[in-house]
Chain A
Amino acid sequence: MSDKVYNVLIVGVGGQGIILASDVLSRAAARYGYDVKKNEIHGMAQRGGSVSSHVRFGKSVSSPIIKTGEADVLLSFEQIEAVRYFPFLAETGKVILNDHKILPPAVFTGKQEYPPDVIEKIKAKVPDAVVVDGLAVAEQVGNPRVVNVVFLGVLSAFLDIPATTYEEVLKESLKPKLVDVNLKAFHQGRALAAA
């Protein structure tokens, strides 16, 4: 276990399973022995708004919020959200991006266009950004609703917490019949990060 404070920012749109993913991450970090603080914005986010969950862990952490320029990993479940939260990324930070668009009202009502070439722009800034079509992987695993755990798997490859710790937390926090498909999704994601 390192002395470093890890800052992980998970973002997306209400309903994408962000809170569950960050819950599992923070519980795994705590179980492995880190001091963990976590914070997220609730409320209007449930109605299709932007959601962000901050997870900070290390030997000793007080504040539950990440500053701009400080995130070691930015995991975004949606393309525009990655752009929105990009200023939070540290210079050496990693980006994990779901290849998925959720049209905001200004776009679906035709008032604005969805920003083009988001992935290309992010890759220009962070060449080793990991871009995954989460839904395709989840469907391949056998359940379109495990996209969040696929990305938890990808994320886990960049952090100093053993895979077995995540497995234990997943087993504890899920209904028994959902455990297998989620473990599969986790490992599939973890393998993608290594590839």
Chain B
Amino acid sequence: MGNEAIARGVIEAGCGVAAAYPGTPSSEVLESLVRWKKELGHPIYVEWSINEKVAFEIAYGASLAGNRAMAAMKMVGLNVASDPFLSAAYLGVRGGLVVVVADDPGPHSSQTEQDSRFFGWFAKVPVLDPGTPQEALAMALRAFELSEKYELPVLLRPCLRVCHARQNIRLGNPAPLKDVGRFARNWTRWAAIPKYRLVLHGQLNEKLQTIIQEEPESRPRLVLGDGRAELAVITSGSVSSHVRDIAAADDRLSGLDVYKIDLPYPADAAALQEVVDTHERTLVIEETYPVLELQLKDRRTVLGRLSGHVPPQGELVPEIVEDLLRSAADIPALERTPVEVKPRRPSLCPGCPHRPAFFMIRKTFENAVYTGDIGCYTLGINMGAVDTCLCMGASVGMAGGLAKAPRPGDEHRVVATIGDSTFYHAGVPALINAVHTRASFVLVIMDNGTTAMTGGQPTPASPSLADGSPGTAVDMERLVRGCGVDHVQVVDPYDHAALKETLESARKHTFDEGKGVSVVITRRPCVRMPGVEISLQRFRITEQCDLCMSCVRDLECPAIHYVKGEKRMEIDQDLCAGCGFCVQVCPSQAVEPKGA
């Protein structure tokens, strides 16, 4: 897998410290580092940090200490880490510092299709863009070299189709930890005030110029054709693989010249322009923003996003690449069969502790505005219990804003839901803000003890760290109380009566008595985590069922369905996780335990 290959490159570079926050499609980078660390006995330090900003700062600190260091995240994580990322470009680094940022054109499981190469440009940080897992390994090694040579952070930007692609990989040897010497005090650099920042900015610009002159990766290289065709294609990253395969498989496209560029920023603009000038037409195929295209000065013969030839959004899947190549080469378009079936919507798992929590939030706070957050529990949308989803931690911040903007005659009741990992990541400052400003809303922290959506990484409340070594568990109740919240309750979401009572108490405190924000922590481990005991109790639906559909509509349990021909409800005994919440909430009391 591409992410494993990147991790392998990190180990082969003798990297000493790696930090990450999980996020699809980047999560397997740190997971693979943990595996290599154990299998090879490599001394690298690995951690799941509380968020991407901290992960970057951990890596940056380690670089100043003379180690090679890596931070990994998904594209929106770089938004969170952008403050230190941009400053680090000015200040520079000591030990090689590589930031792995996984992009998700599509988007398949992300909030945006942002192009991290563009972010690199904005930050004036060099960007390497691998096309295959094998290339990703080589580029990880190269990124450390470049970073150390120019004392700059280097961004390695794999797209999902590299991160999750698999192929056989040629491995090199793991290297012992690289050491560039201990931290040397120099406040004009490491604590530069604005006067020195100007100097550093000048040095940064010089470094970028030197990279363009000295590093071959900044120039396009011919990967297909002889350089004498009418039509040229300039491409970079994972989409370059589609271009190569499609051009190689079609005789009518065989006259193409395909140029690939490994370092799309800072690219050698003169060399790029030369490609354009020596061909009649040039098609630029890159994901997802026009980074290479914008570095071309004369675009009169260029077909790309700016000319309207390449779709401005969505993944450049092979079909689209083929259409683009054919149209640029004046070959008639192919007919495509559209996909017939509606997409399959994901649901919370059977037995998921979020399900009863959402169910009871709907019952207790009717007509409230439900601000939601990023994680499995965004799927509360299916149950009508999530109205908003902006970015990590926004459920809490937005709840404050909604609560401060009441409409006349409106109950202006706001209920926020957030998972435990997301709360630690970005919810804490917003909660302190809410307490301080006396914002009036109920916050439900859905604590399943893990970062479930991305595969179950530990949170700051876990007693052990990424590699299994002991850590200090940060107690959530103490944290919430420390934020200044007085009304904090913890409840098991499987316990119908207690859950109801707890939410009603929060409603009374916040809305009826106007005593400010209250917090309910619904705590039960994710059913998907290893070692979590699943109930073997199974249930059946009795004749008392009046087909009210509450179990499928309000509870949205995938294990229960309506049998059309027979006009009855049925529980799929294989899917059922035995949580028994349906027994507690069925209005007709028509669900009973088997064997009762």
List A residues at the B interface (Cβ < 8 Å).
Answer: 5, 13-14, 23, 26, 30, 35-50, 61-69, 80-81, 83-87, 103-110, 112-113, 115
Q: Of B177-185, B205-213, B469-477, B548-556, which binds chain A?
A: B548-556
A44 to B454, CA, bound (A): 9
A179 to B252, CA, bound (A): 48
Residue from A26, A49, A83, A85 within 8 A of B166 (CB atoms): A26
CB atoms of B242 and A65 under 8 A apart: yes
Other A-B contacts than A48-B346, A104-B345, 10 sampled, CB-CB below 8 A, are: A13-B344, A26-B166, A38-B166, A39-B164, A43-B24, A63-B318, A64-B165, A67-B317, A87-B336, A108-B560
CB atoms of A69 and B346 under 8 A apart: no
Q: A62-B241, A105-B345 are in contact. Are A41 and B166 (CB under 8 A)?
A: no
CB contacts under 8 Å to A, within B302-347, are 317-319, 322, 334, 336-347
A23 to B553, CA, bound (A): 37
Interfacial chain B residues near A107, Cβ < 8 Å: 561
CB atoms of A44 and B109 under 8 A apart: yes
CB atoms of B161 and A65 under 8 A apart: yes
Interfacial chain B residues near A63, Cβ < 8 Å: 241-242, 244-246, 318
CB atoms of B337 and A108 under 8 A apart: no
CB atoms of A64 and B241 under 8 A apart: yes
Instruction: State the Cβ distance, A16 to closest chain B Cβ, in Å.
Output: 12
CB atoms of B340 and A83 under 8 A apart: yes
Instruction: State the Cβ distance, B528 to closest chain A Cβ, in Å.
Output: 8
CB atoms of B341 and A87 under 8 A apart: no
CB atoms of A48 and B347 under 8 A apart: yes
CB atoms of B349 and A103 under 8 A apart: no
CB atoms of A105 and B242 under 8 A apart: no
CB atoms of A84 and B318 under 8 A apart: no
Interfacial chain B residues near A105, Cβ < 8 Å: 345, 347, 382, 556, 558
Which of A39, A40, A69, A81 has the most B CB atoms < 10 Å from its CB?
A: A39
Residue from B108, B338, B341, B345 within 8 A of A41 (CB atoms): B108
Q: Closest residue of chain B to A114, judged by CB?
A: B564
Interfacial chain A residues near B25, Cβ < 8 Å: 42-43
CB atoms of B338 and A87 under 8 A apart: yes
A30 to B142, CA, bound (A): 27
Q: Closest residue of chain B to A108, judged by CB?
A: B561
CB atoms of A30 and B379 under 8 A apart: no
A107 to B322, CA, bound (A): 36
CB atoms of A47 and B341 under 8 A apart: no
List B residues at the A interface (Cβ < 8 Å).
Answer: 24-25, 108-109, 131-132, 161, 164-168, 241-242, 244-246, 249, 317-319, 322, 334, 336-349, 376, 379, 382, 453, 455, 528, 549, 552-553, 556, 558, 560-562, 564
Interfacial chain B residues near A112, Cβ < 8 Å: 342
Residue from B340, B345, B379 within 8 A of A106 (CB atoms): B345
CB atoms of A67 and B319 under 8 A apart: yes
Q: Closest residue of chain B to A56, judged by CB?
A: B245
Instruction: State the Cβ distance, A117 to closest chain B Cβ, in Å.
Output: 14
CB atoms of A42 and B24 under 8 A apart: yes
CB atoms of B318 and A65 under 8 A apart: yes
Q: Closest residue of chain B to A78, judged by CB?
A: B344
Instruction: State the Cβ distance, A186 to closest chain B Cβ, in Å.
Output: 21
A71 to B440, CA, bound (A): 56
A65 to B255, CA, bound (A): 23
Q: Closest residue of chain A to B340, judged by CB?
A: A83
Instruction: State the Cβ distance, A57 to closest chain B Cβ, in Å.
Output: 10
CB atoms of B336 and A109 under 8 A apart: no
Interfacial chain A residues near B24, Cβ < 8 Å: 42-43
CB atoms of B341 and A84 under 8 A apart: yes
Residue from B319, B338, B345 within 8 A of A49 (CB atoms): B345
Interfacial chain A residues near B342, Cβ < 8 Å: 106, 112
Residue from B344, B349, B549 within 8 A of A104 (CB atoms): B344
Q: Closest residue of chain B to A135, judged by CB?
A: B574
CB atoms of A61 and B164 under 8 A apart: no
Interfacial chain A residues near B338, Cβ < 8 Å: 87
Give 13 pairs: A residue, B residue, CB < 8 Å, sorted on A: A30-B167, A46-B528, A47-B379, A62-B245, A68-B319, A68-B337, A80-B341, A87-B336, A103-B561, A108-B552, A108-B562, A110-B562, A112-B342
A35 to B241, CA, bound (A): 14
A65 to B346, CA, bound (A): 23
Interfacial chain A residues near B131, Cβ < 8 Å: 62
A-B residue pairs, 3 tightest by C-beta: A43-B109, A108-B561, A47-B346
Interfacial chain B residues near A41, Cβ < 8 Å: 108-109, 164
Interfacial chain A residues near B336, Cβ < 8 Å: 68-69, 87
Q: Closest residue of chain A to B320, judged by CB?
A: A67
Interfacial chain A residues near B334, Cβ < 8 Å: 69
Residue from B109, B245, B341 within 8 A of A115 (CB atoms): B341
